[in-house]
C-alpha cells in the first residue's frame, strides 16, 4: 500500500480500537433452555462486561443488544464459509442483513468473526480452501457497505496454528503445513488494520497431556519455569501468547494487534474441571488483565473474551464432557463461584468499595415446577430395560456430569439412573411422557440432589417449546432403538 492508504488504515483502525479494553465474554446459545437474550444483556451490564463475542448472527440476540452500549463481535459459522468464499454477492447479502441493519438500529458491532477455529487439525483441512476467500469477501462487503471505519473482519483461530519446535516462545512460527496460508491471512489482516484472534486454553494443555505440570496452567507461580533468554515464563498463557507474538514478529508482522478470542476453565466433566480450579484460573487471569502489564513480548493491555458466560447443554461433547460446563454462570444464570470481572484496577477498587465484587446473576428467572423424574425404588437394578433406557436418556439429554471425579461421581447405581432419567425429563419440559421408560421411572417432589450433585430443574423459557416440538416426536422410537450403554454403573 502507498503511504496514503496506510494512513487511512491506521486512522480507521484507531476508530475501531477506541473500544472497551480488557475482558469480554463469549455468549453461546447451544442450550435447550436458553436464558432470554434481554436477561443475558442485563447480566453483561451488571458484571461490567462491555464486549460480547457471538458465534452466529441470531436475530433475538442482536436485537437485545440494540443501544446496550456493549461492543459486539458477530460470528459466521464454519458451514457458511464455502458459500461466502465463492460468491461475493452472498457476502454482501450477509453483511447487509447481519451487520448493516443492526448497526443502523443501534448495535455496536466492531468485528465479524469469519469462522471459528477453521484450521483445527481435527477438521482434516475441511476449511483450508474457503476461510481466506470468505474473509476477503466479508471485508470487501463491509467496505462496500460504508462500514470500513468501524467494523473489521477477523478469523478466530485455535492456538494450534502456531508452534515452537524448541518449546521456547521466542522460536514461535506458524504451523508448517499451513504456513503460507497463515501469511496470506496475516498480511490481509495487517493491510486492513484488523486483529489476529487466537483462542488460548491452558485447560486443554492439561487435559491432553497427563504429564503437563498443573501449576504451570495457573497464574500463581510455578517452581520450574521456562527460561527463554532473558525472559522467564511462569505460566503457560504468557508462553503461548508470546509464541504467537514471536511468530508474527518472525514473519514481519510484529505490529499486528492480538485479541484472545476465548480463554477460560470448565467446572465439570473431567477430573481437572471443577469450580475450585476454574475460580483459581479465572481469578488469576482477571488479575493478570487488571494489572495492565501484558506479556513479556507484548506489554500493555490484554484484549480478551472469557469462555464462556453461561453453560450450554447442547454443545458437542466429542472433545470431552467438559464442553458443556465452561460458563462462569450455570445454565440458569446463577454464579458458580466468587469472581470479579471488572478488568481494570480502578474498576476493581470501586467494586470493592461498594461490596459489589461478586458475580451478579440473572434476575427474575422462572423455573418449571419443583419435581423430578427418578428410578422407582421397587425396580431391580438387574432389569433388562435399564441399560437401553439410560443410554437413550443420555443420548438425548445431558449426562456429562456423570463420571470419574465429576460433580456427580458420588452417586450410586440408582442415583446414576435417576440422574439420566431426570435430565431427559427436564429437557422435555417435565412432560409426563418423558418420565415413562417402560414403567421404570416415577415423578417425585422430593429433591434427589446430593451435597455435590444437583438434579436440575429447567428454566421456563420461551425457547423450550420449539425444542419440545422437535424432540417429543422421538418418544415413539424409545423402545425400538437400543443404543450402546454410555454410563458405567458401580
Report in angstroms the alpha-carbon separations of 277 from 27, 202, 271.
22, 12, 10
Mean pLDDT, rounded, for 212-224: 94
pLDDT one-digit tens code per residue, 394-441: 999 999 999 999 999 999 999 999 999 999 999 999 999 999 999 999
| Closest by CA position to 339, among listed 361, 312, 363 | 361
pLDDT at 484: 35
Instruction: State the chain's maximal CA–CA distance in angstroms.
Output: 81
412 by Cβ neighbours in 10 Å (0-12 / 13-18 / 19+) ranks as exposed
- 20 or 21, which is more confident? 21
Distance, C-alpha 45 to centroid of its chain: 19
Q: Tell me what percent of the residues of the chain surpass a pLDDT of 70.
A: 86
pLDDT one-digit tens code per residue, 40-53: 999 999 999 999 99
The strand pair at 258-263 and 294-295 is best described as unpaired
**Which residues, including other chains, have CB under 8 Å from residue 304's CB and lie 6 or more apart?**
22, 23, 24, 259, 260, 263, 285, 289
Out of 313-327, 383-397, 470-484, pick the least confident. 470-484
Q: What is the pLDDT of residue 487?
A: 41
Alpha-carbon gap, residue 69 to 74, rounded angstroms = 15
Q: Which residues touch 465 (CB under 8 Å, ≥6 apart)?
A: 429
The predicted-structure confidence for 173-185, as pLDDT tens digits, reads as follows 999 999 999 999 9
| Cell representation of residue 446 | 422430593
CA distance 389 to 441: 10
Q: Residue 34 phi/psi, 5° resolution?
A: -70, 150
Among all residues, which ones are annotated catalytic? 117, 262
Query: Which residues touch 270 (CB under 8 Å, ≥6 apart)?
Result: 207, 320, 321, 322, 405, 406
* pLDDT higher than 70, residue 380: yes
414's CB contacts (< 8 A; 6+ apart) are 375, 377, 381
Structure confidence at residue 349 as a pLDDT band (50, 70, 90): low
Rounded distance, CA 377 to CA 468, Å?
Answer: 28
Whole-number average pLDDT of the chain: 90
CA distance 49 to 342: 7
Strand partners, 299: 294
Rounded to the nearest 10 degrees, what angle do helices 179-191 and 131-144 cross at?
10
Query: Residue 285 has what pLDDT?
Result: 98
The least confident of 42-56, 225-239, 474-488 is 474-488
Nearest Cα residue to 290 out of 245, 351, 336: 351
DSSP secondary structure letter of residue 443: E
Query: Phi and psi of 437, rounded to 5°?
Result: 50, 55
Q: How confident is the model at residue 342 (pLDDT cuts 50, 70, 90)?
A: confident
Strand 172-174 relative to strand 162-164, pairing: antiparallel
Which grid cell sits at 424?
A: 431427559
What cell numbers appear for 350 in the block?
470501586
Phi/psi region, residue 167 (left: phi>0; alpha: psi -120 to 50; beta: rest), is left
Amino acid at each position: 500500500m502507498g503511504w496514503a492508504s496506510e494512513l487511512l488504515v491506521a486512522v480507521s483502525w484507531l476508530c475501531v480500537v477506541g473500544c472497551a479494553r480488557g475482558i469480554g465474554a463469549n455468549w453461546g446459545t447451544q442450550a435447550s433452555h436458553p436464558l432470554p437474550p434481554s436477561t443475558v444483556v442485563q447480566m453483561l451490564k451488571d458484571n461490567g462486561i462491555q464486549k460480547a463475542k457471538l458465534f452466529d448472527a441470531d436475530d433475538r440476540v442482536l436485537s437485545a443488544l440494540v443501544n446496550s452500549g456493549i461492543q459486539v463481535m458477530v460470528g459466521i459459522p464454519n458451514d457458511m464459509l464455502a458459500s461466502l468464499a465463492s460468491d461475493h454477492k452472498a457476502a454482501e447479502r450477509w453483511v447487509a442483513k447481519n451487520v448493516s441493519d443492526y448497526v443502523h438500529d443501534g448495535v455496536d458491532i466492531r468485528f465479524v468473526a469469519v469462522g471459528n477455529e477453521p484450521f483445527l487439525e481435527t477438521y482434516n483441512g475441511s476449511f483450508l480452501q474457503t476461510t481466506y476467500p470468505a474473509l476477503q469477501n466479508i471485508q470487501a462487503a463491509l467496505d462496500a457497505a460504508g462500514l470500513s471505519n468501524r467494523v473489521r473482519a477477523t478469523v478466530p483461530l485455535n492456538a494450534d496454528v502456531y508452534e515452537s519446535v524448541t518449546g521456547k516462545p521466542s522460536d514461535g512460527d506458524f504451523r508448517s503445513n499451513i504456513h503460507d496460508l497463515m501469511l496470506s491471512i496475516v498480511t490481509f489482516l495487517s493491510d486492513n488494520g484488523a486483529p489476529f484472534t487466537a483462542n488460548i486454553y491452558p485447560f486443554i494443555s492439561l487435559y491432553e497431556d497427563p504429564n503437563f505440570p498443573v501449576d504451570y496452567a495457573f497464574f500463581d507461580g510455578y517452581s520450574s519455569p521456562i527460561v527463554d533468554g532473558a525472559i522467564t515464563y511462569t505460566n503457560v498463557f504468557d508462553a503461548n501468547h508470546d509464541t504467537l507474538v514471536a511468530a508474527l514478529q518472525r514473519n514481519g508482522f510484529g505490529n499486528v494487534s492480538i485479541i484472545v478470542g476465548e480463554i477460560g476453565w470448565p467446572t465439570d466433566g473431567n477430573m481437572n474441571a471443577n469450580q475450585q480450579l476454574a475460580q483459581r484460573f479465572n481469578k488469576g487471569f482477571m488479575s493478570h488483565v487488571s494489572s495492565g502489564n501484558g506479556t513479556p513480548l507484548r506489554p500493555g493491555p490484554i484484549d480478551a473474551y472469557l469462555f464462556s458466560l453461561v453453560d450450554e447443554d447442547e454443545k458437542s461433547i466429542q472433545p470431552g464432557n467438559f464442553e458443556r460446563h465452561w460458563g462462569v454462570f450455570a445454565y440458569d444464570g446463577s454464579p458458580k463461584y466468587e469472581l470479579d470481572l471488572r478488568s481494570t484496577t480502578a474498576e476493581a477498587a470501586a467494586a470493592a468499595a461498594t461490596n459489589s465484587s461478586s458475580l451478579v446473576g440473572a434476575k427474575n428467572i422462572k423455573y418449571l415446577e419443583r419435581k423430578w423424574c427418578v428410578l422407582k425404588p421397587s425396580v431391580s437394578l438387574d432389569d433388562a430395560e435399564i441399560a437401553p433406557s439410560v443410554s437413550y436418556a443420555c443420548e438425548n439429554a445431558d449426562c456429562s456430569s456423570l463420571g470419574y471425579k465429576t460433580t456427580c461421581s458420588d452417586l450410586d447405581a440408582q442415583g446414576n439412573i435417576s440422574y439420566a432419567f431426570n435430565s431427559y425429563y427436564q429437557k422435555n419440559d417435565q412432560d409426563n411422557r418423558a418420565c415413562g421408560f417402560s414403567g421404570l421411572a416415577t415423578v417425585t417432589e422430593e429433591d434427589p440432589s446430593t451435597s455435590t450433585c444437583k438434579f436440575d430443574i429447567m428454566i421456563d423459557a420461551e425457547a423450550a417449546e420449539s425444542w419440545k416440538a422437535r424432540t417429543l416426536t422421538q418418544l415413539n422410537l424409545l423402545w425400538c432403538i437400543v443404543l450402546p450403554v454410555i454410563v458405567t454403573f458401580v
